[in-house]
Amino acid sequence: MAMRVSGINSGLDTEALVKELVSAYSKKTEKYEKQQTKLSWKQDSWKAMNTKVYGLYTNISNLRFSGAYSTKKASSSNTAKATVTATSGAVTGTQKLRVLSVAQTAYLTGSKMNTTDGSELGADTTMKQLGFEGEEGTKLKLKTKDENGQDVITDIEITEDTKVTDVVDALKKQGINANFDTKNGRLYLSGKDSGEKYNFEISTDSEDAEASQKALEALGLKIDENDEDAAKMIQGTDAKIRLSGVLYTSSNNNFSINGLNIVAQGVTGDTEDNEITLTVANDSQAIYDKIKDFLTEYNEVINEMTKAYNAKSSGDYEPLTDEEKDAMSDTEVEKWETKIKDALLRRDTTLNSVMSAMQTAMATGVKVGDKTYSLSSFGIHTLGFLNAAENEQNAYHIDGDEDDSNTSGNKDKLMDAIVNDPDSVVEFMKGLTTNLYKAIDEKMKSTSLSSAYTIYNDKELTKQYDNLTKTISQWEKRVSEKEDFYYKKFSAMESALAKLNSQQSSMSGLFGSN
């Protein structure tokens, strides 16, 4: 880099002159910098738009299937004893329910343990400290059941050195929920889950009954219903209900029967007097709300796209340089840049392509049985260019929708259709959302120009941005080289002038001495 000397001898503003001489190159750099800024804003606009379209895409994914539509609702006459919900497969009408028992988890509360040597009771307390003096090989028998309901016997090895925590760990390995409560000095054991299949039993070893009995006593696991201080065992039980006269059993309190999900809460007894009435009816409002929510989201997306496509031209507006920004207020800069940003997707062919695909999908008829339905079949339509608000001509409105001032006074054909033929409405919606999902999916396929789940050519824009970075770097280098070139020239000129001035000074000195 050349030395940047000022015009000491020439009296010239060399910095201003060099700046003017390289201005053509600087403007070229500035041009590409503005292009890159504008491209960056365009990338941001597309990312925001893509996020909204992708959100719609993911949200309608489940609307393609019957499970998304809660076509049935269920109620219980006694929710304290049983609650109920219904799937689309539930039969409408009433049924009688009796809760005979609720599920219980097997639970063993150990008696309080005590040390015999005066030491403090804790998880690391040994069997010897608990007063157990048995021979090596003493066992406790743990009986559980396998998945097939067959008894499984497991030995729990006990020695004088066995710690309380060792017993807890051994029980846990066999699927028992075991815990030692230091504060209360007791062992608490419970089955893996509720129901009879998870019952368990801890007993003595018949081959060494005396020693194993002492081990049970030391651990506080000896059960004696007649002794208030002894361990207590509550057996696990299954839940049992009688629905429409048929007995059902479950290891927990949940029953799934022919489209009904019943949760047993309390026992009613097996008598007619305490029967619970379960009622199932079509949930028309839930289907209506699901359709309305879908259309609301679709409208928000399509309106945003329409607004971006129809935006006013930004004319000759270009991104501002730092110098230009300094000459303006923050508000003026914001308005200037907003005008450019709002118009970045104006008349964009890619945006138009996505919009057209979505609109075609929404307008395409769906065959249900031997009939073909469209949105208009259910009183759902656009308002058209003349009646719709600006950039909302592609949005859909539901006749009779009390929240829509444009159509609230019209006859509610959608709710009528749901009440009278919910299955046809659901099938239509499944077909419609499938068409829309496929249309967006097709636009989101990965290509050499775009990434997966992206409706615009993000790869292409990134490449353009990178190319501009290289171009800007090249022009910045040219500016620097030209500046160096001119500064060298001015430096040489200043040196020559300095030499000339020195010679003239010497000459003047000579003449002056005479």
pLDDT digits (tens, 9 = 90+) for 127-183: 999 999 876 779 999 999 998 889 999 999 999 999 999 999 999 999 999 999 999
Residue 61 is predicted with a pLDDT of 96
Average pLDDT over residues 436-452: 95
Residue 363 is predicted with a pLDDT of 97
pLDDT single digits (tens) 260-300: 999 999 999 999 999 999 999 989 999 999 999 999 999 99
Residue 222 is predicted with a pLDDT of 94
* CA 79 to chain CA centroid, nearest Å: 33
Q: What share of the chain is helix, strand, coil (3-state, %, to 5)?
A: 45, 20, 35
Query: Which residue's entry shows tokens 């970075």?
Result: 469
Residue 4 is predicted with a pLDDT of 53
Residue 1 is predicted with a pLDDT of 46
Closest to 159 (Cα-Cα) out of 134, 185, 182: 134
For the chain, give the percent of residues with pLDDT over 90. Answer: 76
Q: Give one DSSP letter per residue of 271-292, joined into a string.
A: SGGGPEEEEEEE-HHHHHHHHH
pLDDT category at 31 given cuts 50, 70, 90 is confident
Residue 478 is predicted with a pLDDT of 79
User: Are 264 and 253 a contacting pair, CB within 8 Å?
Assistant: yes
Q: Helix or strand or coil: residue 236?
A: coil
Closest to 112 (Cα-Cα) out of 125, 94, 93: 125
Residue 468 is predicted with a pLDDT of 92
Backbone angles phi, psi at 262, to 5 degrees: -105, 135
Least confident of 9-13, 186-190, 281-285: 9-13
pLDDT single digits (tens) 189-215: 999 999 999 999 999 987 888 899 999
| Cα separation values, 17 from 22, 259, 290, 476, Å | 9, 87, 70, 18
Cβ neighbours of 225 (radius 10 Å): 9
Distance CA 366, CA 430 (A): 9
pLDDT single digits (tens) 115-138: 999 999 999 999 999 999 876 779
Cβ neighbours of 191 (radius 10 Å): 25
Q: Which amino acid is residue 278, in one-letter code?
A: L
User: Are 327 and 419 a contacting pair, CB within 8 Å?
Assistant: no
| Cα separation values, 391 from 256, 311, 382, Å | 49, 9, 12
pLDDT single digits (tens) 100-111: 999 999 999 999
Q: Which amino acid is residue 393, in one-letter code?
A: Q
Environment class of 24 (CB within 10 Å of its CB; exposed 0-12, middle 13-18, buried 19+)? exposed
Query: For 327-457, where are the alpha helices, taking DSSP H only?
Result: 330-342, 349-363, 384-387, 413-420, 422-443
Distance CA 270, CA 100 (A): 6
Residue 501 is predicted with a pLDDT of 65
User: Are 436 and 361 a contacting pair, CB within 8 Å?
Assistant: yes
Backbone angles phi, psi at 203, to 5 degrees: -135, 180
Q: Which residue has the higher pLDDT, 501 or 348?
A: 348
Residue 247 is predicted with a pLDDT of 98
Q: Which amino acid is residue 394, in one-letter code?
A: N
Residue 2 is predicted with a pLDDT of 46
Is it the case that residue 9 has pLDDT exceeding 60? no
Q: What single-letter DSSP state applies at residue 310?
A: T
pLDDT category at 11 given cuts 50, 70, 90 is low
> Which pairs count as long-range contacts for 443-449, CB under 8 Å and 24+ apart, including other chains?
443/353, 443/354, 443/357, 444/54, 444/57
What pTM, to 2 d.p., does this model score? 0.65
pLDDT category at 12 given cuts 50, 70, 90 is low
pLDDT category at 511 given cuts 50, 70, 90 is low
pLDDT single digits (tens) 370-428: 999 999 999 999 999 899 999 999 999 999 999 999 999 999 999 999 999 999 999 99
Residue 23 is predicted with a pLDDT of 65
Is it the case that residue 81 has pLDDT exceeding 80? yes
Is it the case that residue 3 has pLDDT exceeding 60? no
User: Which run of H or E residues covers position 219?
Assistant: helix 209-219
pLDDT category at 26 given cuts 50, 70, 90 is low
Residue 113 is predicted with a pLDDT of 96
Tell me whether strands 246-250 and 186-190 are parallel, antiparallel or unpaired: unpaired
Closest to 443 (Cα-Cα) out of 259, 301, 260: 301
Q: Which residue has the higher pLDDT, 43 or 16?
A: 43
First to last CA, the chain: 46
Is it the case that residue 445 has pLDDT exceeding 90? yes
Residue 88 is predicted with a pLDDT of 79
> Which pairs count as long-range contacts for 388-394, CB under 8 Å and 24+ apart, including other chains?
391/303, 391/306, 391/307, 391/310, 392/299, 392/303, 392/306, 393/306, 394/302, 394/303, 394/306, 394/355, 394/359
Residue 229 is predicted with a pLDDT of 87
